[in-house]
């Protein structure tokens, strides 16, 4: 596909009214008073953030989902997407468009605009900017000493799914958790009024919980026993200490991690896994005893 | 530089308050009632949109300027920038940061956030999303029959500057017009109340004027004699018909092209170059006579 053909295909996807049919260089966003706008941007590189043989529709879905997960963590609903796309071969472009269409419809995140460029055979780089709106914005650094730490969904499925995508034998449901994550948009909106701190888990539960604690000027303690694992993950990797450590240090969960005062119950399905305390750093408990921390708490940028 | 070092360097640039020190995954934009938000995104690829030996500070400047020119064409002031950056070698990264700092300060367009990734030695791809705000948004498709067509500044300087950047002998002022364009932000804001149509000239005066006419459902006639050329360009390429045709089909001017009713004078320095008429298509006049159109009206995407 050339640029004109790809843009024509984009223009057949659900568009934000402000996209004006993608006929213009810029998108216009009318905006309601009293809302905050939330913006997030991700860039992914073939061979770095996804594999050349990953299904292109899944690459599109995940690019959208990962950005919308950042919006969800702020309590924002999606407003629209700006896509930066590097053209490659036609089959890949078409399959990417299919996955993009599925994600746009699934999450009600219409296309606002973007830029389509020729890559001249270079490794493909894609970029997405997601715009959201929130009545009240949650921050990762607002936790108070004594807050309980909660998490939505289950942890570690995507980490196991990555191993399955790389060739290990395991169930499709885990591979799908890796390739087709579902951002917790409704949960984020429901939680933003009460959560003193919130973020999404993208690099691993332990490292992201440490970041929330550090941003809040607090220590965090996590009960490894309490971390919710799916039945599929337990079947795949067991449920001992080392399986649980693998789950809490694997990335790509895209669940919400949030802090609530004392014994407040969350308005969404979630599991209490620990507590914020005065001090700094992370402590991990297993069957009531302190556990030494693994060398690697999750995926760290720049390392 | 690794990602953490580059992000730390970004955090020392002028930041929008909503960037929260780049500590978070998302930027928060408080927004005034009654304003429209304008969003634009560009992606540039090494070897496609800029040359590997182009000065990195100029690459940064131009990436910012080109996006802000899209905002200017809508009558919007810059609000902030989201940068997608692929790391490469340290010297390039540092020089890029210098140019980014210069552009951010020159155009009062603070950084809001973005994403920094490792490229693993791949051809560098950069992306920028610019967010602006306007009381009244200009569109490219609003021209009326009988409107006069105007242009700010001079045309063709950047086209000559590209030849100089590629090794031709010529003045620095023209090369600088190519490498360090200045978006017409103040002019765009001043014009948005009166212009019936406006856009920036990025791909060449003739092709962009044709696009404005097509979007407005009209024909456009341009007097090649009336097109403003700089003294530097006249010295460099002369002022005959072929020199003028080269100027009006060269890209990268980033001047504003706008339509005003009948004999209305613009509130900014500008030159009247033609007229919108009923019908469709482009006519070009030279010394009062119709001129056949050149084969190539400017840079066409996908060709």
Domain of A196, CATH number, reads 3.90.650.10
pLDDT of residue A270: 98
CATH of the domain at A39: 3.30.1330.10
Identify whether residues B24 and B114 lie together within a single domain.
yes
Among B74, B106, B134, where does a domain finish? B134
pLDDT of residue B181: 97
Q: Does B12 carry a binding-site annotation?
A: no
**Is A129's CB within 8 Å of B125's CB?**
no
**Is A26's CB within 8 Å of B199's CB?**
no
Centre a 10 Å sphere on the Cβ of residue A128 and count the other Cβ atoms it contains: 28
Q: Which of A6, A17, A24, A200 to mutate to test the interface with B (most CBs of B within 10 A)?
A: A24
Which residues of A, range 42-81, sit inside 8 Å of B by Cβ?
Answer: 42-49, 70-71, 73-74, 76
pLDDT of residue B301: 58
Enter the tokens of residue B107. 């155009």
Identify whether residues B122 and B15 lie together within a single domain.
yes
Residue at token pair 């060398």: A295
Residue B88 covered by a domain = yes
Contact assessment for residue A246 and residue A224, using Cβ atoms and an 8 Å cutoff: no
Q: Which of A5, A20, A26, A49 to mutate to test the interface with B (most CBs of B within 10 A)?
A: A26
Q: How far apart are CA A247 and CA A225, in angstroms?
A: 12
Residue at token pair 């969003």: B39
Chain B contact for A4, CB < 8 A? yes
Q: Which residues contact A236 (CB under 8 A, 6 or more apart)?
A: A160, A170, A171, A174
- Choose between A235 and B301: higher pLDDT: A235
What does the DSSP assignment read for B151-167?
E-S-SSHHHHHHHHHTT
Q: How far apart are CA B240 and CA B274, in angstroms?
A: 19
pLDDT of residue B119: 83
Q: How many Å lie between the alpha carbon of A210 and the closest alpha carbon of chain B?
A: 14
Sheet holding B148-151, edge to edge: B197-200, B256-260, B148-151, B271-277, B219-223, B281-286, B289-291
Mean pLDDT by 10 residues, chain A (303 residues): 85 85 78 82 91 93 96 94 92 95 95 89 91 90 97 98 94 96 97 96 96 96 98 97 96 96 96 98 94 89 48
CA dihedral A114, A117, A122, A124 (to 10 degrees): 20
Sign of CA dihedral B73, A19, B26, B127: negative
Sign of CA dihedral B257, B259, B260, B262: positive
Identify whether residues A153 and A68 lie together within a single domain.
no
Identify whether residues A173 and A250 lie together within a single domain.
yes
Among B90, B105, B134, where does a domain finish? B134
Strand boundaries in A111-196, DSSP class E: 111-118, 125-134, 148-151
Percentages helix, strand, coil for chain A (3-state, rounded to 5) are 35, 25, 40
Residue A37 covered by a domain = yes
Residue B260 covered by a domain = yes
- Treating both helix axes as pointing N-terminal to C-terminal, what angle do B205-216 and B241-249 enclose, rounded to 10 degrees? 60
Residue B297 covered by a domain = no
Q: Does A148 carry a binding-site annotation?
A: no
Sign of CA dihedral A65, A68, A73, A77: negative
Identify whether residues A164 and A270 lie together within a single domain.
yes
Residue at token pair 């650094």: A141
Mean pLDDT within B242-261: 96
Say which DSSP state A203 is in. Answer: S
Residue B142 covered by a domain = no
**Is A43's CB within 8 Å of B129's CB?**
no
- Choose between B30 and B12: higher pLDDT: B12
Range of the domain at A208: 148-291
Centre a 10 Å sphere on the Cβ of residue A53 and count the other Cβ atoms it contains: 7
Residue A257's alpha-carbon distances to A231, A273, A286, B101, in angstroms, are 21, 10, 20, 35
Q: How far apart are CA A149 and CA A258, in angstroms?
A: 6
Say which DSSP state A288 is in. Answer: T
Say which DSSP state A19 is in. Answer: G
B24, B29, B84: residue with CB nearest A84: B84
Identify whether residues B130 and B167 lie together within a single domain.
no
Q: How far apart are CA A147 and CA A165, in angstroms?
A: 37
Among A91, A108, A134, where does a domain finish? A134
Give per-residue pLDDT as tens, B150-191: 999 999 999 999 999 999 999 999 999 999 999 999 999 999
Residue at token pair 């060709």: B303
**Is B199's CB within 8 Å of A119's CB?**
no
Q: Per-residue confidence at B7, pLDDT binned at 50, 70, 90?
A: confident
Ramachandran quadrant class, B167 (left: phi over 0; alpha: psi -120 to 50; beta: rest): left
Identify whether residues A49 and A73 lie together within a single domain.
yes
Give per-residue pLDDT as tens, A157-185: 999 999 999 999 999 999 999 999 999 99
Q: How far apart are CA B101 and CA B103, in angstroms?
A: 6
Tell me the average pLDDT of chain B: 93
Phi and psi (nearest 5°) for B227? -65, 125
Q: Could you report how far apart the first and last alpha carbons of chain A are, in Å?
A: 37
Identify whether residues A163 and A286 lie together within a single domain.
yes
Give chain B positions within 8 Å (CB) of A20: 139
Identify whether residues B123 and B199 lie together within a single domain.
no
Residue A143 covered by a domain = no
Q: Does B153 carry a binding-site annotation?
A: no
Q: Which of B5, B30, B41, B74 to mutate to test the interface with A (most CBs of A within 10 A)?
A: B41
Identify whether residues B80 and B183 lie together within a single domain.
no
Residue A140 covered by a domain = no
Helix H or strand E segment including B216: helix B205-216
Chain B contact for A210, CB < 8 A? no
**Is A41's CB within 8 Å of B303's CB?**
no
**Is B43's CB within 8 Å of A115's CB?**
yes
Biggest CA-to-CA distance, chain B:
62
Mean pLDDT within B97-103: 96
Mean pLDDT within B193-219: 96
Phi and psi (nearest 5°) for A184? -90, 65
Q: How many Å lie between the alpha carbon of A67 and the closest alpha carbon of chain B?
A: 9
Q: How many Å lie between the alpha carbon of A235 and the closest alpha carbon of chain B?
A: 33
Q: How many Å lie between the alpha carbon of B187 and the closest alpha carbon of chain A?
A: 18
Determine the length of chain B. Answer: 303
Residue B45 covered by a domain = yes
pLDDT of residue B62: 96
Which residue of A lies nearest to B80 if distances are taken between CA atoms?
A39
Identify whether residues A165 and A255 lie together within a single domain.
yes
Mean pLDDT within B24-50: 84
A4, A41, A113: residue with CB nearest B82: A41
Identify whether residues A169 and A94 lie together within a single domain.
no
Number of domains present in the structure of chain A: 2
Q: Does B42 carry a binding-site annotation?
A: yes
Centre a 10 Å sphere on the Cβ of residue A224 and count the other Cβ atoms it contains: 19
Which residue of B lies nearest to A4 if distances are taken between CA atoms?
B302
């Amino acid at each position: 596909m050339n640029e004109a053909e790809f843009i024509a295909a984009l223009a057949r996807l659900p568009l934000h009214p402000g996209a004006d049919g993608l006929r213009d260089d810029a998108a216009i966003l009318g905006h309601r008073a009293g809302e905050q706008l939330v913006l997030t941007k991700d860039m992914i590189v073939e061979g770095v953030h996804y594999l050349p043989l990953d299904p292109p529709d899944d690459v599109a879905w995940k690019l959208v989902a990962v950005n919308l997960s950042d919006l969800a963590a702020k309590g924002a609903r999606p407003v629209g997407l700006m896509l930066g796309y590097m053209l490659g071969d036609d089959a890949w472009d078409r399959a990417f468009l299919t996955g993009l269409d599925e994600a746009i419809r699934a999450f009600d995140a219409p296309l606002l605009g973007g830029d389509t460029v020729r890559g001249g055979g270079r490794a493909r780089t894609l970029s997405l900017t997601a715009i959201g709106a929130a009545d009240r914005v949650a921050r990762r650094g607002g936790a108070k000493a004594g807050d309980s730490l909660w998490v939505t969904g289950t942890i570690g499925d995507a980490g196991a799914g990555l191993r399955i995508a790389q060739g290990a034998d395991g169930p499709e449901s885990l591979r799908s958790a890796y390739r087709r994550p579902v951002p917790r948009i409704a949960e984020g909106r429901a939680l933003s009024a009460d959560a003193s701190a919130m973020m999404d888990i993208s690099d691993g539960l332990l490292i992201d919980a440490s970041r929330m604690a550090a941003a809040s000027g607090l220590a965090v303690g996590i009960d490894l026993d309490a971390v919710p694992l799916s039945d599929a993950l337990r079947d795949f990797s067991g449920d001992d200490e080392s399986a649980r450590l693998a789950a809490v240090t694997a990335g790509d969960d895209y669940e919400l991690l949030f802090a609530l005062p004392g014994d407040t119950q969350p308005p969404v399905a979630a599991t209490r896994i620990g507590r914020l305390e005065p001090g700094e750093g992370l402590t991990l408990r297993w069957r009531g005893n302190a556990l030494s921390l693994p060398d690697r708490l999750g995926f760290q940028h720049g390392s």
